[in-house]
Amino acid sequence: MRGWLRPDGRKGIRNVVAVAYTVECAHHVAREIAARFPAQSVHLIGFPGCFPNAYAVRMMECLCTHPNVGGAVLVSLGCESMDGRALAETLRRSGRPAAYIGIQDLGGTRKAIDAGIEHTAQIWNDIQTVPSVEMSAADLTVGLICGGSDAWSGVTANPAMGRASDRLVAEGGTAIFEESGELIGCEHVLAARAATPELGRALAAAIEKAARYYAVLGHGSFAPGNADGGLTTIEEKSLGAYSKSGSAMIMGLLKPGDRPLRSGLYFLDVVPDGEVRFGFPNISDNAEIAELIACGAQVILFSTGRGSVVGSAISPVIKVCSNPETCRRMSEDMDIDAGRILEGRATLESVGEEIYAALCAVAGGTPTASERLGHREFILTYKHFEWTSGCFDRGENRHANRSTDNQAMG
């Protein structure tokens, strides 16, 4: 497989132009700009909030400098808290072409759209010259997520994804699994797989934090569709979600925007730190996908039993379906039929190898089902994280600078 070499040494499996709005007031203009490039990989992302939030700034910086992103156009209204000019400068420092569009400065909607189209076309042409280089599994970071889970997710799709993850890690690659709200009851199992005792304690604390968070909200990560699909408790769902992590040693705990320091298996804590103040931590699966991508995932493995159809901006999503009936009914949206295991037509090992082969093929340019259908969903909300507390990589603290919600992450 081949990818695009970025100035920081990472390699992208796609060469995307991101059109990114910095407040909801600029969303329409950004959408109109991106819509003028239907045949190119021009993806729309953005943050709708007007008030300051360090998590959102950090996410936007990480997403716009992701290895799959070749360049970006930042679209601002002009009076919001997020500094679009500073974000554009961050991109330029990363070696990527970037442009800033200020709607108020330019005189309104039409002028901003016209300027944005011109800049996007220029950046698209510029990134066609980015060198293509050889890639191996060791260059890949893969995010693991489950959504629309049913009773078979923990029997077929998730453990098969775990086997693919183990194969990737054995080949020198990196895998990141989540989410703390769906691992309640598994904290002692996670801790036992940690590379260090300190990391084991941090993993257990992350799950305990999630349990407290959801207790305050009065609702856990358990939807009516999960029950309709045969799941009975959050603990049962957690065991299924846990199985997608495979059996490799857990090398570190990440928070959104953290990049693994070395290859291996990592856990992503997606539940905010501190008091409960921003509501449900993941209002959709795409919120978690965005966080996995912000940690550097060039491709996402997504298991589903009930039948999720979403894809994502920036990184392709490979759908692994746990239920053979769902896969037959929604075959156009699915990439891998793990439900064949239930029918005796495949084994966990063979489906795991099929998933690993699909990872390599998608990394080499083969489009996923969601890409073929045009899915480029994206969502970003308010959260708060204290990146100096709990971000361990083999027990090492990953960040030296504390951030608050009123500080921009540089």
Report the DSSP beta bridge partners of residue 21: 46, 75
Dihedral sign, Cα of residue 171, residue 304, residue 56, residue 39:
positive
Residues of the chain with pLDDT under 70: 220-240, 388-410
Query: What CA–CA distance (Å, rounded) separates 14 from 247?
Result: 29
CATH top class, domain 2-133:
alpha beta
Q: How far is CA 321 from CA 20, 301, 303, 338, 405, in A?
A: 31, 11, 6, 6, 38
Q: Which of 262, 10, 314, 297 is nearest to 135 (CA)?
A: 10
Query: What CA–CA distance (Å, rounded) separates 165 from 246?
Result: 6
- Please tell me the predicted confidence (pLDDT) of residue 405: 38
- Please tell me the predicted confidence (pLDDT) of residue 301: 97
Alpha helices in 262-320 (DSSP H): 285-294
Q: Which segments within 63-213 are labelled E, that is strand?
A: 69-76, 98-102, 132-134, 141-146, 174-177
- Please tell me the predicted confidence (pLDDT) of residue 155: 84
Instruction: Dig out the tokens for 47 from the structure.
Output: 């943050």
b/e per residue 82-107 (b: at least 16 CB within 10 A): bbbeebbebbeebebbbbbbbbeebe
Label residue 409 left, alpha or beta by phi (over 0 means left) and psi (-120 to 50 means alpha).
beta
- Please tell me the predicted confidence (pLDDT) of residue 365: 96
Query: What CA–CA distance (Å, rounded) separates 374 from 388?
Result: 38
H or E element that contains 131: none
Q: How far is CA 202 from CA 179, 269, 308, in A?
A: 14, 10, 31
Q: What is the pLDDT of residues 18-55, one digit of tens each?
A: 999 999 999 999 999 999 999 999 999 999 999 999 99
Spatial contact of 330 and 365, defined as CB atoms under 8 Å apart: no
In this structure, the chain runs to a length of: 410
Label residue 265 left, alpha or beta by phi (over 0 means left) and psi (-120 to 50 means alpha).
beta
- Please tell me the predicted confidence (pLDDT) of residue 61: 98
Query: What CA–CA distance (Å, rounded) separates 144 from 250?
Result: 14
C-alpha Rg value of the chain to the nearest Å: 20
Q: Where are the domains of the chain?
A: 2-133, 137-372
- Please tell me the predicted confidence (pLDDT) of residue 410: 28
Spatial contact of 359 and 372, defined as CB atoms under 8 Å apart: no
Query: What CA–CA distance (Å, rounded) separates 293 from 303?
Result: 16
- Please tell me the predicted confidence (pLDDT) of residue 404: 34
Query: What CA–CA distance (Å, rounded) separates 212 from 241?
Result: 19
Instruction: Dig out the tokens for 132 from the structure.
Output: 């293509």
Q: What is the pLDDT of residues 223-246, one digit of tens each?
A: 565 655 665 555 555 566 788 999
Q: What is the value of pTM for the model shown?
A: 0.92
Query: What CA–CA distance (Å, rounded) separates 284 from 73?
Result: 26
